[in-house]
Amino acid sequence: MASSPSSPTILLLFVATLFSLLTTPAFADDRLNAGQSLGPGQSLAQGGYLFIMQQDCNLVLYDNGGAVWATGTNGRASGCVLRMQTDGNLVIYSGSNVIWASNTNRQNGNYYLIVQRDRNVVIYDNSNNAIWATGTNVGNAVVVVIPHSNGTAAASGAAQNKVKKLHP
């Protein structure tokens, strides 16, 4: 005859399950929707690509451990948070101070940032038009950049922030 688990065993299983749920990263997928944030150490991933808001306030895209793009904001502040705003602007904040921005602010909408399979990190607008990108795509993928009225476009952000050579 099988015996039923004791109360301490059930409690231990419950606590272990709860602990695993609480310690799992909040953003383990490839997308950040308008209104969502990444805190220090949190990241988005796609295959071997990792887009991480580092503890040192630098937002970095890694390809299998090698940095291929960064905001260059390391050491400028502490406790930084990356926010995909509802106005389409991707912003790194330290408290209420802006440390870096994609400068893609527009009208409110359902914008999202995604780490794509081609290694490019792109912000899309309500109509799925690319409004900003890291410009780090590999392979035969084509990225269409649409300039807008505030004078910014995907290429400008990518050109300013692309890492030249971190790992010789």
Which bin fits 80, alpha (ψ -120 to 50), beta or left (φ > 0)? beta
pLDDT at 147: 47
Q: How far apart are CA 58 and CA 60, in angstroms?
A: 6
The pair phi, psi for residue 80, each rounded to 5°, is -70, 150
pLDDT at 5: 58
Which numeric CATH code is attached to 31-133?
Answer: 2.90.10.10
Each residue of 70-96: pLDDT tens digit?
999 999 999 999 999 999 999 999 999
pLDDT at 28: 39
pLDDT at 22: 42
Q: How far apart are CA 107 and CA 110, in angstroms?
A: 10
* CB 68 within 8 Å of CB 136: yes
Q: Give the position of tokens 């106005």.
A: 87
Residues of the chain under the 50 pLDDT cut: 12-13, 15-28, 141, 143-168
Domain ranges of the chain: 31-133
